[in-house]
Amino acid sequence: MDGSSLERRVLQAKPATPEALAPYGQVLGTGTSAPAGVSDFYEGAVAVSKPVNFISDDDTELSLATLQPRKFEIKYLERHFKHTQTFIPLGGKPFVAVFGAPTDGDMPDIDTLEAFRFDGQSGFTMHIGTWHEFPFAIEPETNLVVILRSETTRNLASENVKNDEAHGPDLDKKNLVQRTGTLFEITI
């Protein structure tokens, strides 16, 4: 599909607040209101909370993604069926994430897409089935810790990519431009 026949839509990135992100997942950061439990050790100097509802099983991995700025264009959308993927920023650099509502069908509802600007102090955990694009760096060398199923990483390996898409038991990655003829651009 050539660029002249594409429908172009613009998403304005909005601040990532717990209320705005609620349809897609949860904000993970110190500003969230999760009750903290104080450890029985260390004279009360350690408080631990569970600010998000992370779901996975024993096939879970933690990886580090180092992002460089790229065009703010959404070519792909993907979703996961078995885990609530989590992104945690390191170094305080802002980034943008795009989400679409979970759907029962084979395709995302592109009219539900929203872009969010994270300030680098908090990350997010997505609900199972939330459509999303991999986050966009605003600054070079933006580091994000990613918690996901190892199965998803295996499904994304180049030998599993067919027609510029990847699929597996926990992954449904679609080429949005090929399938819909629509290119979304993000402004921040």
Residues of the chain with pLDDT under 50: none
Q: Please, what are the domains in the chain?
A: 3-187 (2.60.120.480)
pLDDT in the model for residue 31: 61
pLDDT in the model for residue 156: 85
Contacts of 1 (CB under 8 A, 6+ apart): 177, 178, 181
Contacts of 55 (CB under 8 A, 6+ apart): 83, 84, 128
pLDDT in the model for residue 28: 83
Which DSSP category does 91 fall into?
S
pLDDT in the model for residue 105: 94
Return the closest-CA partner of residue 185 out of 136, 123, 122.
136
